């Protein structure tokens, strides 16, 4: 029986398919996308088939190797990087079943799925093994950037072998001396007579930078082209983008001569170990392609536009990081929930009879509190990231130009939130999963300690938490005079109004009133933060703003999820609906209650600090530490 024909078993400790279906079909109305010409060949049946396949491949080929990749991380012998053979096999199945093609257009042999459905499919793989899926997700991001910005010849040369799984891709931004400060990139790209370039420099923290999983590796490298005087343009304005393959191609398009891209070493990480992370040297002389010095590279787009082009992949990667953080938190929650339901310990609070059998720990209120917190974080994070993925579809394909423009504005505004909020709070969910499992959770015999270690990377890479905060407060909220914030406020107000209309004078309409009040406080705080005289003090509190704003946005989405759940219960006849469905919707409502009662009020002290333009951190001096 083929992979596609195999039955899917439930329940799963990877992700909740019922939650994905709720978010896609009941909340985000993904089926509406089928009315758009780009997706007209699809319907819910085709969406479900690809989701089924994703769940199956993830469960049977990615999840079983997750612990293996953690225990047997890649090795570098000074010449080559070696990975466990099971990893290559899993990625081979990923390619063979067409998952690299899920979101690609039909003219490239793709499924042409909406982005939101593609991201829902990818969630299964990052939940099952975030390290294994990293190679595929980097390759897909590489392909999407080239399709958007490379020449027709470059696309024809490099994209098909990546979509076939023969070549994998990377992004090479950071350097040892520069880190996240891309203005300080020092890698040089010297023009060659044949129109190519020769690159010289070093790149650090390169995920998937070298391995034995594919015939070739296509690096997208930021570098600076020197002028006639031999000098490069200072800052980010001088950065260009280049395709730099590990192997140059022969006349038939197959890997041939080795390019001068050399691994200097592997970084040994706390988690996420199965994805190689490399220091790469370009043009150091280990190899001399064509008998000349330097790594051969091919310019993508116009010179000095490299960072703007690279943001295509970076922003996609930031949503991907958010989804990865969500799924690690989500699978940790499901593992902790399964443990709590099956671990007998203690007795009911009112019981004094030691002869009574112990009850499962899910029967204890504090354990339910920890599970409910996890549920609110991970389901809220999945809603946030899939909503942003739906914005990608709307920005590209909505019939109304105004709707497309608003979707693009919202996506630009909320990309830092989609990356950072799940990275913070779904990591907190992993922490709680360990706590639920107690001493067992802290051991390597159980999976949740690995989920925590793997997830700890997500607040760091693709722009740290602090960088996302500066981007949000220092730039995104100001774009077009704050127009994106106005669009967001309109969306939130519409949700509050719909909830009040449906729920009447109930707790849910009162939550909406509270949310509206927090919105007014945000507006007042932003007036102070954007005062030109207070910029430095305001940006010193950018992380506080990001965290408060993220909680506000997720609270709004929880209110909207609750509205959908209430409507479903009313439509289904309440307690007369199937018991599993009634329990699912009540679980949604309880998680929404938890977030709106317990989590949303957290932003009050944060807004107090913002209103005061607190300078405690700003005024601290190095010598005082």
d(CA 87, CA 133): 10
Six-digit token pair at 220?
Answer: 């997208």
SS3 221: strand
Q: Cite the DSSP H helix spans in 442-482.
A: 448-455, 465-474
Closest CA to 463 of 232, 233, 171: 171
Torsion sign (Cα): 223, 227, 233, 238: negative
DSSP-derived letter for residue 113 is: -
Backbone angles phi, psi at 305, to 5 degrees: -115, 15
Give me the DSSP letters along 319-344: HHHHHHHHHHHHHHHHHHHHHHHH-B
d(CA 153, CA 108): 14
SS3 569: helix
Burial of 340 (0-12, 13-18, 19+ CB in 10 A): buried
Our CA angle for 537, 540, 543, nearest 5°, is 135
**Contact in structure between 451 and 324 (CB atoms under 8 Å):** no
Active site residue: 175, 449, 462, 599, which one?
A: 462
Burial of 295 (0-12, 13-18, 19+ CB in 10 A): buried
The answer to whether 462 is a known catalytic residue is yes
Whether the bond between 11 and the residue before it is cis, its omega within 30 degrees of 0, is yes
Give me the DSSP letters along 173-186: ---TTTTT-GGG--
Backbone angles phi, psi at 589, to 5 degrees: -65, -40
Give me the DSSP letters along 77-95: -SS-EE--HHHHHHHHHHH
Our CA angle for 614, 616, 621, nearest 5°, is 145
SS3 28: coil
Instruction: Give bridge partners of residue 278 from the DSSP assignment.
Output: 206, 266
Distances (CA, A) of 20 to 17, 119, 371, 378, 424: 5, 11, 19, 12, 21
Q: Known catalytic residues?
A: 462
């Amino acid at each position: 029986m083929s992979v596609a024909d195999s039955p899917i078993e439930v329940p799963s400790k990877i992700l909740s398919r019922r939650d994905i279906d709720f978010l896609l079909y009941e909340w985000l109305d993904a089926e509406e996308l089928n009315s758009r010409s780009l997706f007209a060949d699809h319907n819910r049946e085709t969406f479900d088939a690809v989701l089924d396949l994703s769940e199956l491949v993830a469960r049977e080929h990615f999840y079983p190797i997750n612990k293996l990749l953690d225990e047997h991380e890649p090795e570098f012998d000074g010449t080559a990087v070696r990975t466990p053979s099971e990893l290559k096999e899993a990625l081979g199945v990923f390619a063979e079943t067409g998952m690299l093609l899920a979101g690609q257009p039909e003219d490239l042999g793709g499924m042409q799925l909406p982005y939101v459905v593609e991201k829902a499919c990818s969630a299964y793989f990052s939940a099952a093994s975030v390290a294994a899926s990293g190679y595929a997700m980097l390759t897909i991001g590489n392909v999407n950037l080239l399709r958007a910005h490379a020449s027709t010849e470059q696309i024809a040369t490099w994209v098909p072998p990546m979509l076939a799984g023969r070549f994998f891709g990377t992004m090479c931004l950071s350097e040892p001396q520069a880190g996240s400060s891309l203005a300080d990139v020092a890698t040089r790209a010297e023009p060659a007579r044949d129109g190519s370039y020769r690159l010289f420099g070093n790149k650090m923290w390169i995920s998937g930078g070298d391995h034995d999983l594919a015939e070739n590796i296509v690096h997208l490298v930021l570098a600076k082209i020197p002028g006639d005087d031999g000098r490069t343009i200072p800052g980010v304005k001088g950065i260009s983008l280049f395709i730099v393959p590990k192997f140059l191609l022969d006349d038939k398009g197959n890997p041939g001569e080795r390019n001068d891209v050399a691994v200097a070493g592997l970084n040994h990480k706390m988690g996420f170990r199965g994805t190689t992370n490399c220091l790469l040297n370009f043009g150091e002389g280990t190899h001399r392609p064509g008998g000349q010095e330097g790594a051969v590279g091919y310019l993508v787009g116009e010179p000095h536009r490299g960072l703007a082009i690279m943001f295509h992949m970076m922003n996609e990667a930031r949503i991907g990081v958010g989804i990865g953080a969500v799924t690690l938190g989500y699978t940790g929650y499901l593992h902790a929930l399964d443990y709590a339901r099956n671990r007998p310990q203690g007795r009911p609070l009112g019981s004094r009879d030691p002869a009574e059998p112990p009850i499962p720990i899910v029967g204890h209120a504090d354990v339910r509190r920890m599970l409910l917190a996890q549920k609110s974080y991970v389901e809220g994070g999945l809603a946030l990231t899939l909503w942003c993925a739906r914005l990608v579809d709307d920005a590209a394909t909505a019939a109304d130009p105004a709707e497309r423009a608003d979707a693009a504005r919202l996506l630009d505004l909320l990309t830092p939130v989609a990356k950072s909020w799940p990275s913070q709070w779904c990591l907190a969910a992993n922490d709680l999963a360990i706590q639920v499992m107690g001493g067992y959770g802290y051991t390597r015999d159980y999976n949740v300690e690995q989920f925590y270690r793997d997830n700890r990377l997500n607040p760091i890479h693709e722009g740290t938490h602090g960088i996302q905060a500066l981007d949000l407060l220092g730039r995104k909220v100001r774009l077009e005079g704050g127009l994106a914030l106005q669009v967001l406020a309109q969306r939130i107000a519409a949700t509050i109004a719909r909830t009040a209309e449906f729920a009447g004078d109930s707790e849910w309409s009162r939550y909406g009133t509270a949310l509206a009040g927090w919105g007014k406080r945000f507006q007042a705080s932003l007036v102070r933060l954007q005062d030109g005289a207070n910029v430095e003090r305001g940006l010193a509190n950018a992380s506080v703003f990001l965290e408060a704003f993220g909680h506000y946005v997720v609270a709004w989405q929880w209110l909207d999820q609750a509205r959908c759940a209430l409507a479903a219960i009313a439509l289904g006849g309440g307690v007369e609906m199937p018991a599993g469905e009634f329990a699912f919707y009540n679980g949604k409502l309880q998680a929404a209650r938890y977030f709106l009662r317990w989590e949303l009020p957290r932003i009050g002290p944060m807004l107090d600090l913002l209103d005061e333009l607190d300078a405690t951190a700003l005024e601290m001096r190095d010598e005082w530490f």
